[in-house]
Chains A and B, each alone.
Chain A
Amino acid sequence: MIAPPNLEIAVLILGMLLLMFEAFMDKIDKRVFAFAGILGLTTVLIGTFYLAPVPQIDHASGFWSFYTADPLAIFFKRFALLTTILVLVMMIDYAPTVRGSVAGVTVQAGLGEFFALPILTCAGLMYIASAIDFVMIFVSIELVTISFYVLVSFTRRNPLTLEAGVKYLVLSALSTAFLVYGITWIFGVTGETNLDRITAALANSNIDQTAMLFGAVLVLVALGFKIAAVPFQIWVPDVYQGAPTPVTAFLSVGSKAAGFVVLLRVLRPFLMLPKMDRLLVVVALLTLLYGNLAALPQGNLKRLLAYSSIAHAGYLLIGVACFDGPAVTFYLVAYLLMTLLSFAVLIVVAQQAGERITDFDGLAKRSPFLAFAMLIGMISLAGVPFTIGFFGKFFIFYSALAHHQTVLVVVGAITVACGFYYYLKVVRAMYWRPAVKNDAIPVSGLSRVVMSALIVAIIWFGVYPEPILRALQPPSGQVAMKSAADH
């Protein structure tokens, strides 16, 4: 039995050990560190299934007023660990590109940090999952963001990457400022930073609601930046396109999920404020429309996935606007599987051909396996039944209809149809178009195994979602979820 806080400590120690060994062992193949990282994280992931129950102590002060180990937190810790493991696998495939674009004395200079940083990011993501106090939320978000500053601009000889790094740094710092400023306003009004006690304070009628609303909106702005919600999405396409592809995948899954966890946590106090629900609906609408419409003309697959990440933030925000936690969480799991699968194929193909959609022409002839994997990723993102992406959309729209969000549903229907167009554009390139070259694209054994596992998971959970639904809920939760959807 393991106490929940030890999980993060284990991950942190793992990351630091890797960094330390890396510094002293410059002779060995640096990919060893990636394998060590994968192994270590897998151990921790297994550890999450053997957690000691949280001690029943006073949650009003001390450590447990910052940190929770409720089912949502545990679920997202597993989510973060799984994401990081998959990203490390992609990074191994990506290593040749990194070597080519990092200045260093030895051939493998920089690779060690490239493999160790995501592990530190993972620790940050796990802390975010457990944070129930604004101070803790702020500190853990910073841990994630700062390691991303380095990761995004890692291949710094590439001017596009450098541009992405600068954009991410400036805008991310700005959003941090919004977050701190919002927290100070909230603290000023309620005198609390713990979310539970803020909720309790808000029930008191003589607090200044306008000031509180101002603080809440500032916090939402910062979170909007993290989850790529319109109008805070401007950084997304350039940063996603310029960053090393595994980092892009990590950003679009890990960072976004972290944003949504915090959003779900702060929603309870915030929803006691007037007009908050309407604000969320408007943001969801804008995000849906912008993400999907802007994705239509994209010719670069990485950029397309960036816009698709905005689009999916829109669907997730529908769930948030309907206060349906389980639906949002399920959608995030679906998003994790299908997005990481698409990025994994993109990394392999991009090394041989390129990142544009036209570089995928005739892939079905060159590498049927890669084309099939991409096909599954794309149709799941589009939301075709028998893939997990469909269940995600199903739960989201179920709750939107139950809450009579007619406008969201109508706009959602249009954007789903848009989605079919731009995702199938990739399928068209792979299957309809003739190939320029005919040589097969090599895939490493590990990547092949991971891609197959992702394909199986996407289809398996697309037919039988029960395991995820069960993991999302404590035993009595089903009733709660049903009643939340039905009211």
Chain B
Amino acid sequence: MLLLLIVLCPIAAAVLIMIGAPARATALFASIATLLMTLFALALFDRGVHEFQYISSFAVSTGWGINFAVGLDGLSLIMVLLAAIVTVAAIWFTDKIDKYEHAFYACLLLISGGAIGAFASLDLFFFYAFHELALIPTFLLIGIWGNDNRSAAAWKITIYLALGSFILLLGLILLYQSVPIAARSFDIRTLQEAAGQIAPEAQRHIYLILLIGFGILVSLFPFHTWAPDAYAAAPAPAAMLHAGVLKKFGLYGLLRLAIPLLPAGAHHWTNLLLVLLLGNIIYVGLVTIAQKRLDRMLGYSSVMHMGYIFLGIASANLLGVTGASILIFAHGLSIALLFAIAGEVRKRTNTMVLSDLGGLAKVMPLAGLAFGFGAFAAIGLPGFANFAAEVMIFFGAFRNGFAIERFHIFQVATVLALWGVVISAVYMLRAYRKVFMGALGERWRNLVDLRPGLRLPVTLLIVALLWFGFYPQSLVRILSPVLQTYLSTKQP
């Protein structure tokens, strides 16, 4: 019941706003209520078991065995928590909207509700459907309220994601059809029980299709080109929600489906995935350094960091997968913070070109501080949740197939991926210097800092980053029962 409220709260609020409830008040109230309920669910969560908790289930089609079922285990709990935190921040950061104010908030809430619903769904059908709920709102958000090159960006992200989702849908149907008829179910719990019964050959096909489908949604190299354009053009709250939360759906899907159900398929395609994720880390990383605009730099950096998470997923051991899960959470918070501050800078200066900016920390000290925190977290400095997660990923990946006398492909990939930390330090620090340090340009003298009301969401994000950075064990304890079960699945 509690979880049902968490899932339906943003969607109900979106409907109310479209009917005519006061937009900002309703949206803020709904998002804060969602966050509070999620924290409540976190507090009451039984950390010792791997089973789903807070389950509610309603039959939708008996003939097809489709149920509307929601439930939380450790993995989905931290995803819902991430979504709830970023939603509050994104809605709080929304300024006055000049046209269709109601629609703006309704779209934000639909993206958030879609993401929460997808993370909480126990049924493959709704897992998929909730994610797609965010597609049209994204199209509208970028198209109506976007910046600069909004038209092209909105088309690109929508067509890309529609295609990716459709490929994903085909993969999910194939997954459903691959288990013996008696064991077939759209229910993730039942599928989990049938995990060992999928033939290795079928696993290979399905994993590849899912990897492409999810990969497009997560901007896996070479399907990443939609992301920088879309995030550069999107209004800041939309970019926060999309890059911070919605994009993580694909990674969550791989963790939830591919790791327990298709281990043989994952093993077969490991080398391919390693090459692609190095494309994310090294190639996209270098592209990020070359960016001349802050918004595109952040967009590319969010693509680049997906590479680490994929590395953790590819490593397929407890350490790496736990690291990947935590990095999903940490990156969601840090990128939301960065997009929020970049949005504030854009609002005041109307430019995102790095060379035009400079010295803004003198007039916007709070924004500078917040951006600094976000940048340090994104680089992966110790003390932030990102650091804890990346360390786990690197150790987990390095350990795979390790032999003292020669380097296995995983060791090579890990060493190359480590250079990504250097690359991200280069572009983040360079951007920080160019925007906030140096001489203050004459025309920026009269800028004002973040208004006091915004201190709260900024603090929320930074505190979460630091808390889980110093105490990642709190996340590990929640995650480990379910991940341990997933990784010990018997294979035929």
Contacts and interface: CB of A to CB of B under 8 A. Distances in A.
A432 B129 contact: no
A385 B170 contact: no
A469 B132 contact: no
Interface residues of A, number: 37
Contact of A481 (B63, B68, B151, B181): B63
A66 B136 CA distance: 48
A464 B169 CA distance: 19
B400 interface: no
A478 B177 contact: no
Contact of B129 (A375, A390, A401, A466): A390
Contacts of B133: 385-386
A364 B100 contact: yes
A149 interface: no
A466 B139 contact: no
B128 interface: yes
Interface in A446-487: 463-466, 469-470, 473, 478, 481-482, 486
- Of A390, A427, A428, A486, most B-chain CB atoms within 10 Å: A428
Interface stretch (B72-80, B157-165, B321-329, B444-452): B157-165
A117 interface: no
B81 to A, nearest CB: 24
B143 A401 contact: no
Contacts of A482: 63
A481 B61 CA distance: 14
B167 interface: yes
B140 interface: yes
- Of A379, A394, A427, most B-chain CB atoms within 10 Å: A394
A397 B140 contact: no
Interface of A: 364-365, 375, 379, 382, 384-386, 390, 394, 397-398, 401-402, 409, 413-414, 416-417, 420-421, 424, 427-428, 431-432, 463-466, 469-470, 473, 478, 481-482, 486
Contact of A413 (B99, B128, B143, B166): B166
Contact of B181 (A375, A469, A486): A486
5 contacts: A413-B166, A413-B167, A428-B143, A428-B154, A482-B63
Contacts of A465: 60-61
Contacts of B166: 413, 416-417
Interface string B99-136: 11001000000000000000000000000111011011
Contact of B63 (A390, A413, A414, A469): A469
A474 B14 CA distance: 39
B155 interface: yes
A416 B60 CA distance: 25
A362 to B, nearest CB: 10
Nearest to A478: B63
Contact of A431 (B63, B140, B170, B173): B140
A205 B135 CA distance: 55
A228 B419 CA distance: 58
Given A385-B132, A386-B129, A413-B170, A420 B61 contact: no
B350 interface: no
B169 A379 contact: no
Contacts of B163: 413-414, 416-417
Contact of B60 (A398, A417, A463, A478): A463
Given A385-B133, A431-B140, A431-B143, A397 B170 contact: yes
B174 interface: yes
The 4 closest A-B pairs by CB, nearest first: A385-B129, A417-B163, A420-B162, A385-B132
B62 interface: yes
Q: At the interface, is chain A mostly helix, strand, loop or mixed?
A: helix
Nearest to B125: A394
B144 interface: yes
B155 A421 contact: yes
B136 A379 contact: yes
B143 A397 contact: no
Given A386-B133, A481-B63, A427 B177 contact: no
A385 B128 contact: yes
Contacts of A466: 60-63
A6 to B, nearest CB: 32
A461 to B, nearest CB: 11
B63 A397 contact: no
A431 B100 CA distance: 9
Interface in B136-186: 136, 139-140, 143-144, 151, 154-155, 158-159, 162-163, 166-167, 169-170, 173-174, 177, 181
Contacts of A416: 162-163, 166
Contacts of A364: 100, 103
Contacts of A427: 136, 139-140
A464 B60 contact: yes
Contacts of A382: 162
Contacts of A401: 170, 173-174, 177
A420 B159 contact: yes
B460 to A, nearest CB: 31
Contacts of B159: 417, 420-421
A384 B100 CA distance: 23
A432 B163 CA distance: 23
B177 A402 contact: yes
Given A413-B170, A486-B181, A432 B63 contact: no
B167 A432 contact: no
B177 A384 contact: no
B108 to A, nearest CB: 15
A364 B135 CA distance: 19
A394 B126 CA distance: 12
Contacts of A463: 60, 68
Contacts of B158: 420, 424
B97 to A, nearest CB: 14
Contact of B173 (A397, A417, A428): A397
A427 B133 CA distance: 16
A405 to B, nearest CB: 12
Contacts of A420: 158-159, 162
A390 B128 CA distance: 11
Contacts of B100: 364, 431
A398 B124 CA distance: 14
Nearest to A415: B166
A478 B174 CA distance: 21
A128 to B, nearest CB: 27
A470 B64 CA distance: 11
Interface in B45-82: 60-64, 68
Contacts of B174: 401
Nearest to B61: A466
B150 to A, nearest CB: 8
A423 B372 CA distance: 43
A375 B68 CA distance: 25
Contacts of B130: 385
A397 B165 CA distance: 14
Contacts of B140: 427, 431
B128 A431 contact: no
A333 to B, nearest CB: 15
Nearest to B59: A466
Nearest to A485: B177
B60 A424 contact: no
A465 B61 CA distance: 7
Contacts of B139: 424, 427
Nearest to A432: B143
Contacts of A384: 132, 135-136
B203 to A, nearest CB: 16
A401 B155 CA distance: 29
- Of B64, B130, B139, B181, most A-chain CB atoms within 10 Å: B64
Interface string B475-491: 00000000000000000
A465 B173 CA distance: 18
Contacts of A390: 129, 132
A281 B135 CA distance: 31
Contacts of A417: 159, 162-163, 166
A465 B130 CA distance: 16
Given A401-B170, A465-B60, A466-B63, 17 more contacts: A385-B128, A386-B129, A390-B132, A402-B177, A409-B170, A413-B167, A417-B162, A420-B159, A424-B139, A428-B154, A431-B100, A432-B144, A463-B68, A466-B61, A469-B61, A469-B64, A481-B63
